[in-house]
Amino acid sequence: MFVDPLLEGTAPQLLRMALASMVVPYTIGLGAFYLIVRSMEKSAPSGDTMDIAPSAIGRYFVIQSGLSFPVIVITNIATMMLGGQVTGLSSGEILGNLPFYIFLLVMFNPLFEEFLFRKLILERLTVLGTRSAIICSAVLFALPHAFSLGLAQMLYTFVLGLVWGYVTVKSGQLLPAIVLHSLSNIYGTFIPMIPRSLPIANLAFMAVYALIMPVAAIVLAVREHKRAALQSMT
């Protein structure tokens, strides 16, 4: 957001978008973070309690989707009731540059953000303990979204960061978080923009996003907590 105004009128829009959304923030972010943490001790997640089978990815997709989407909806409603302005990418902006945003949200961001927050950062935060490391990495992941996309996106991405951090620690691999990140962007950004001309289609959409997925997420999250508690006792 700092680079784009400087290039307005002097560079093609696609180049400006790429610099503002990909090149500049990640170059600065990764470089600055490396200078800060290069001397810190790191430890890889143990990865001794969770597989990465498609069924596990499916469960965590339901958990992350059902827990995170209501957060952004409730926060946006509260913001509007308090007279604030809902911020974030509009459907028109995304659809007007659809190939770019598909690449950015489905491929680029999942790869680079998971490498930064669930690899570089999380590995070094594990000295605080597993739970603290997951929470701190989720906070660090959410904060930049507050500046770029607003409060709702910050809370939304904090919930997602908790899930991705947990999955990374438990599986000992980065790939599950990358896949879940990509699926989350598809679920939260692109699927809601699919035209729904029939009232029944809108009802079905609201039932899935506002009721079915949240209930299923709570049930699966409780089961996962019980399973993890039993494993820690054995």
pLDDT at 86 over 60: yes
pLDDT score recorded for residue 18: 62
pLDDT score recorded for residue 218: 96
Residues 172 and 98 in one domain: yes
Give the confidence band of 25 by pLDDT, cuts at 50, 70, 90. low
Q: What pTM value is reported for the model?
A: 0.85
Residues 130 and 176 in one domain: yes
Hey, what are 203's tokens?
């009802």
Residues 141 and 185 in one domain: yes
pLDDT score recorded for residue 62: 97
> Following DSSP, what letter does each residue of the chain receive, concatenated?
--SHHHHTTTS-HHHHHHIIIIIHHHHHHHHHHHHHHTTS--------S----HHHHHHHHHHHHHHHHHHHHHHHHHHHHTT----S--HHHHHHTHHHHHIIIIIIHHHHHIIIIIIIIHHHHGGG-HHHHHHHHHHHHHHHHHHHT-HHHHHHHHHHHHHHHHHHHHHS-SHHHHHHHHHHHIIIIIGGGS---SHHHHHHHHHIIIIIHHHHHHHHHHHHHHHHHHHHH-
Residues 117 and 168 in one domain: yes
pLDDT at 7 over 60: no
pLDDT at 46 over 80: no
Residues 131 and 78 in one domain: yes
pLDDT score recorded for residue 2: 46
Residues 101 and 127 in one domain: yes
- Give the range among 46-60, 122-136, 170-184 with minimum mean pLDDT: 46-60
CA distance 135 to 125: 10
Domain that holds residue 169: 68-194
Residues 117 and 174 in one domain: yes
